[in-house]
Amino acid sequence: MKNFLMFLIILFVAFTCFAQTEPMSVERKNAGCWSSIDYNINSFADSLNFWAKNGRMPDFIFDQNFDHSLIGLTRDCFARQHFISFRKAVFDRVINENILVAITEAQDKRLDEYYRPEELESLQKNHTSVHGTTYPDLPYMKYSTRELAKRRLNELRKVKELLSN
């Protein structure tokens, strides 16, 4: 019964990552685009959830520009500029504590890097995008991959503690 309750709580937490934070005036151009976003997030989360202990970690967790690389998925969803953190959404769906511990304890400095739009922008001075900037500010850009993994691990441990009481 406790496992079932934990599953329901984790499922609820995972779905709340898409809670609406913008007013209702934000119009979606294409409702089907969310299924594409959801599919991609689930694929990345599954690669972490099914990670075998002592196995190779997926390459995307070492990419501080991961959020930016998937930014095109949101272009069709909204009538105006709107961005989400794909890294945060992926970690919100991770339930494998072993991979989260491995990420937090890994001796790889790439896990501590941040998305820095100003540095990337200076590399491509004369290039602009549909949104006016090639590298916009993104949600959770002030968090490294390691910090997001620590946050998620703490969330899972709190849920486990609540269920054990």
CA distance 141 to 114: 6
Q: Is residue 24 assigned to a domain?
A: no
Q: Is residue 121 assigned to a domain?
A: yes
CA distance 161 to 74: 36
Q: Is residue 37 assigned to a domain?
A: yes
With CA atoms as reference, report the closest residue to 159 among 8, 51, 1, 45: 8
CA distance 91 to 8: 17
Instruction: Note down the domain range covering 153.
Output: 2-15+30-164
Q: Scanning the structure block, which residue is given the tokens 């151009």? A: 29
With CA atoms as reference, report the closest residue to 41 among 53, 49, 30: 49
User: Distance between terminal CA atoms of the chain?
Assistant: 13
With CA atoms as reference, report the closest residue to 69 among 90, 49, 50, 55: 90
Q: Is residue 117 assigned to a domain?
A: yes
The string of pLDDT tens digits covering residues 112-128 is 988 766 665 555 555 55
CA distance 116 to 81: 19
Q: What is the pLDDT of residue 30?
A: 54
Q: Which residues make Cβ contacts (< 8 Å) with residue 139, sequence separation at least 6?
A: 83, 84, 85, 88
More confident residue, 53 or 27: 53
Could you tell me the pTM of the whole model?
Answer: 0.69
Q: Is residue 21 assigned to a domain?
A: no
pLDDT confidence tier of residue 153, bands split at 50, 70 and 90? very high
Question: What's the structural domain count of the chain?
Answer: 1
The string of pLDDT tens digits covering residues 58-100 is 998 898 777 777 766 666 665 555 677 888 999 999 999 999 9
Q: b or e along 2-13 (b: 16 or more beta carbons within 10 Å of the residue's beta carbon)?
A: eeeebeebbeeb
